[in-house]
Amino acid sequence: MNDIEKLLNEEHNRMDSITAPEELESRLRNALDKSAQKKTKGYRKVWKVAAAVLIMTSIVSYNFNAFAYYGKKIFGFDALIDGTLLDLNEAGMGQSVDVRTTLLDGTELMIDGIMSDANQFIMYYTLSNPNGINDTIDLFSRPHITGFLTDSNFNSGTSIINDDQTEIRGMMSFDPVSPFSKKLTLSYWQNATTNGMSEDSITFDYYPDKAMQTEIKQKINKSFKVDQGKITFKSITATPTMTLIKGTMNVDNFDRVSSALDGIELIANGKVIPMIGSGRTTSYNGTTFEIKYDVLPKELESLQLVMNKFVGYEKLKAKYSLDINKTESLVIGEKKMRVNNISTTSEGVEITIATDEEVMLDGVSIETSDGVVPLNTTVRQDMIKQADGTLMKERTLLFDTTNEPHYILIEGMHYMKSYNYEIEISVK
């Protein structure tokens, strides 16, 4: 036996140890049968067929998601989902599970089906109990998915309950699972009657070959300086359920505005892709972030990631007279501030101001005849809708003095600043 024959023999033994998905194995066997009928007997052509099988086996083993997906529609959840997920379900991109168990209070938990791709793992479930399941939130909490090379945390979920309070249909999104997992276990906690919370689990089959294929996955590795740090966009992964941007940042004043990531847009074919969520995680290794957008167009011609706005900081070192009327606005940097009320109570001097909703003032104090008095606390804060439909943030500042204030002093301002950084992402 020469070296080539030894190698093919070893590969033949390896192939025998691999269990291919049922429908794919059937397709391969049919293809080989048809090929055999067309070919004449010959030593070289036999090796060509064997080589083709080796190539196909390698693809099945390590790149299963490159194959077309054959799934099913998950029934009973149309009222729960909409948009992209509803379209995927209508197209039969789900994977039926139909595994059930009974919780401690007699409620039946059924895992109806799943959707899976490289960005997320979505589980559809039903809780039913003819005696009512009003407290089910406490009975089915803190879920977690585990399996071979899989440890997926719960990300989000939603559910609806029927009119007689006996059935809940819900969906949960988890981190993506490993493509090498063939069995998955859902772990959850439920109320035990006497011993507090009790952990339980249910295991079901998973067919990774039925996961939806990734459309774009590439590194970005582009960094930008901002006023108080740096932000780096690391990667983009586009799948049938969402488009995910991952990155890192070291920005001191990130928390000083409510939604600093909202000013980052993904633009495909010249149109803005809707953002569906964002989040940040901080550990001793640093801070990472994720921005989730809706799916990309099927026919993709161009793709840009644009950081229109992000949290910024402007030093002011400004002193403003409080001898103004309520309709007059003070200019603070590139923003405006309105003083709506000044009063003195038993707690001290209260000054009510209004600014754009994302503005946070830094180092605020007042000047009286007795000197400078720093801000003690903010006692009220509301979002006020203006006549033009915009929102302004109104808050009341409390200073520990009863002396009449003449000036308000502001050291600086955190706000959503225009940066207009743009990254061109290859779509070829």
Instruction: Say if strands 141-147 and 405-424 run parallel, antiparallel, or are unpaired.
Output: unpaired
DSSP β-bridge partners for residue 271: 268
Q: Which residue has the tokens 């585990």?
A: 146
Burial string for 107-140 (b: 16+ CB within 10 Å, else e) reads: bebbbbbbbbbbbbbbbbbbbbbeeebeebeebb
The three-state secondary structure class of 124 is strand
- 106 — pLDDT class (breaks 50, 70, 90): confident
The per-residue pLDDT for range 236-247, each reduced to its tens digit, is 999 999 999 999
Q: What angle do CA 89, 91, 96 make, to 5 degrees?
A: 50
Lowest mean pLDDT among 131-140, 153-162, 220-229, 343-352: 131-140
pLDDT (average), residues 387-414:
93
For the stretch 135-138, contacts whose Cβ atoms lie closer than 8 Å and that sit 24 or more positions apart, written own/partner, are: 135/105, 135/191, 136/107, 136/168, 138/190, 138/191
Residue 6: per-residue pLDDT = 52
Model confidence at 271, pLDDT cuts 50, 70, 90, reads very high
Q: 């070296």: which residue's tokens? A: 3
> What predicted TM-score, i.e. pTM, was given to this entire model?
0.73
pLDDT at 205: 94
pLDDT for 88 equals 85
Residue 49: the pLDDT is: 35
Q: How confident is the model at residue 113 (pLDDT cuts 50, 70, 90)?
A: very high
What does the mean pLDDT of the chain come to? Answer: 82
Structure confidence at residue 7 (pLDDT):
47
pLDDT digits (tens, 9 = 90+) for 7-66: 445 544 444 444 444 333 433 343 344 343 433 333 333 333 333 333 333 333 333 333
Per cent of the chain over pLDDT 70 is: 80
Look at residue 363 and tell me whether its pLDDT is greater than 70: yes
Give the model confidence (pLDDT) of 163-177 as tens digits.
888 999 999 999 999
- The pLDDT of residue 66 is 32
Between 331 and 70, residue with greater pLDDT: 331
Task: Identify how many contiguous H helices and E strands the chain contains and give both numbers.
Answer: 5, 23
Please give the C-alpha separations between residue 386 and each of 279, 331, 379, in angstroms, as whole numbers.
29, 18, 22
State pLDDT tens for residues 283-327.
888 999 999 999 999 899 999 999 999 999 999 999 999 987 767
Q: What is the pLDDT of residue 325?
A: 73
Look at residue 158 in the predicted model and tell me its pLDDT: 87
Sheet holding 264-268, edge to edge: 271-273, 264-268, 303-321, 405-424, 360-368, 371-385, 391-399, 348-356, 335-345, 329-332
Tokens 């589980």, residue located: 123
Are the C-beta atoms of 156 and 277 separated by less than 8 Å?
A: yes
- For residue 200, pLDDT over 80 is answered with yes
